[in-house]
Chain A
Amino acid sequence: AQSVAQPEDQVNVAEGNPLTVKCTYSVSGNPYLFWYVQYPNRGLQFLLKYITGDNLVKGSYGFEAEFNKSQTSFHLKKPSALVSDSALYFCAVRDGQAGTALIFGKGTTLSVSS
């Protein structure tokens, strides 16, 4: 069975500082990995994905994520955080071979202070 772990319920950073939101996954086949962001009372918005190829993936709003197969991780990063980045972030995984549904982690609340 596939699963996703986001070990931190909340991450606090100061504006202008780099941020990292952690994600580890477990699938039996090839992982398709995704990051989504949710603002209050809104649906989830797609940020970026890793399917194959370069391990460093760039996405929307200056976010990027690095796929690390040996550590089964897909951490979300941004070089310089903005107050407007404050939101709930979800990591998700799908088993590319089995064609299973997208399974989400519990989510990490990012709080960026000014």
Chain B
Amino acid sequence: DSGVTQTPKHLITATGQRVTLRCSPRSGDLSVYWYQQSLDQGLQFLIHYYNGEERAKGNILERFSAQQFPDLHSELNLSSLELGDSALYFCASSVGLAGEGGELFFGEGSRLTVL
């Protein structure tokens, strides 16, 4: 158990809909990262938050947004969903910033299926 909690574990929805994925980082971790894993694209970095502030953006679509709240949990919002958004979405946390040498701890992921 990594200590990172993601909900829901599975989600099935229709095209055009909006969903929210939730992540609770390990106790004491200030950084939260979101990744998307799909068969064709592999593991893609989406976005990084540190102590409530956005620090880096990767291949995140404009239809997607995220935020980190004062209690350090994070939410990833996916809107106007398309079939191609079906993937496994991972949250990871670390103690410090990306420039430090700390490893990331991953949650079990949220599997999104768009029908």
Interface residues of A (CB under 8 A from B): 32, 34, 36, 42-46, 49, 51-52, 90, 94, 96-107
Contacts and interface: CB of A to CB of B under 8 A. Distances in A.
Which among B35, B90, B99, B109 has the greatest number of chain A C-beta atoms within 10 A?
Answer: B99
B43 A46 contact: no
Contacts of A49: 101, 103
A89 to B, nearest CB: 12
Interface residues of B, number: 24
B114 interface: no
Interface of B: 2, 4, 33, 35, 42-43, 45, 48, 56, 58, 90, 92, 97-101, 103-109
A78 B97 CA distance: 31
B90 A102 contact: no
14 contacts: A32-B101, A43-B2, A43-B109, A44-B43, A45-B106, A49-B101, A90-B43, A97-B99, A99-B99, A101-B48, A101-B58, A103-B45, A105-B42, A107-B43
